[in-house]
């Protein structure tokens, strides 16, 4: 249940920003902050729901008591299934329900404030341009892959351009995610292609001025700021594991 009041979105852009904030909070719960989320979903507690909030945070709470609720409610009782499923399957299930809830909330606002056909279509297109929570949690977002023929993913921090080198460990101390093109591609084309790489935590695109790091276990790329890794800290990491992979290994 959302205890902090938030501005009510009334336009397409405002509804989309509300959607994006809630989505970012849910992604945090199911990826970078998954250990905390797992602990809060105690099966011994009553029916719990996962809420994404517009300020990019999340909370696990009991559902609201008023009927009908002010906003559509997320899936009820997610904590009961936690220990009866494989963790990855449970997280995937929560992610699917989270995607459904996000759409329900967005189009609830659209209906409430009289969005017409054009406005609804624009809102859906904006939402559809983002990967779903399920895609990010399961790793089904298009991710960079090593090319055959010696195209291992390694980077030069000084130039910010991709350089292929088999001697450097993939994923550590890297500023730019790999691209699925050969080295003969021009620099300008490479910059455009980097936009297809998405952060495994927040789902946003690559940007030239941002530090990125790749997990050596799941091979997903992350903004350094999303996983709290700075370039200086990365210099001392021999093998990087993202929060999700670190949690899974610790719990086995």
pLDDT, greater one: 47 or 179: 47
**Averaged over 1-13, what is the pLDDT?**
75
- Residue 21: pLDDT band (50, 70, 90) is very high
How many helices (H) and strands (E) would you count in the chain?
8, 4
Burial 205-239 (b: 16+ CB within 10 A, else e): ebeeebbbbbbbbbbbbbbbebbebeeeebeeeee
Higher pLDDT, 6 or 159: 6
pLDDT given at position 69: 86
Tokens of 152: 């291992």
- In this model, does residue 190 exceed pLDDT 80? no
Q: What is the pTM of this model?
A: 0.60
Cβ-based neighbours of 178, under 8 Å, separated by 6 or more: 144, 145, 146, 153, 155, 162, 197
Give the model's pLDDT for residue 128.
95
Residues 6+ apart with CB under 8 A from 227: 32, 201, 213, 242, 243
CB neighbourhood size of 90 (10 A):
18
Residue 169 pLDDT: 42
Least confident window among 65-74, 124-133, 194-203 = 194-203
* Dihedral, CA of residue 92, residue 94, residue 99 and residue 104, to nearest 10: 160
Q: With 80 as the cut, is the pLDDT of residue 155 above it?
A: no
pLDDT at 70: 87
Q: 């699925």: which residue's tokens?
A: 180
Spatial distance between the Cα atoms of 126 and 102, rounded to a whole number of angstroms: 13
CB 42 within 8 A of CB 81: no
Alpha carbons 85 and 74: distance in angstroms, whole number: 20
């Amino acid at each position: 249940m959302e205890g902090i009041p938030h501005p009510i979105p009334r336009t397409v852009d405002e509804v989309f920003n509300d959607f994006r904030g809630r989505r970012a909070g849910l992604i945090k719960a199911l990826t970078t902050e998954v250990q905390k989320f797992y602990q809060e979903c105690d099966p011994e507690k009553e029916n719990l729901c996962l809420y994404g909030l517009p300020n990019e945070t999340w909370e696990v709470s009991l559902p609201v008591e008023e009927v009908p609720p002010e906003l559509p409610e997320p899936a009820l009782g997610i904590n009961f299934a936690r220990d009866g499923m494989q963790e990855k399957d449970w997280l995937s299930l929560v992610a699917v329900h989270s995607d459904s809830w996000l759409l329900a909330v967005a189009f609830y606002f659209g209906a409430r404030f009289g969005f017409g056909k054009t406005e609804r279509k624009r809102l859906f297109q904006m939402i559809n341009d983002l990967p779903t929570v399920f895609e990010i949690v399961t790793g089904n977002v298009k991710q960079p892959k090593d090319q055959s023929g010696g195209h291992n993913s390694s980077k030069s921090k000084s130039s910010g351009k991709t350089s292929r080198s088999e001697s450097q460990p993939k994923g550590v101390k890297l500023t730019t995610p790999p691209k699925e093109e050969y080295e003969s591609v021009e620099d300008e084309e490479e910059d455009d292609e980097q936009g297809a790489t998405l952060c495994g935590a927040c789902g946003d695109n690559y940007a030239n001025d941002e530090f990125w790091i790749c997990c050596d276990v799941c091979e997903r790329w992350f903004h350094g700021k999303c996983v709290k890794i700075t370039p200086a800290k990365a210099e001392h990491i021999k093998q990087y594991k993202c929060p999700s992979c670190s949690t899974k290994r610790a719990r086995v």
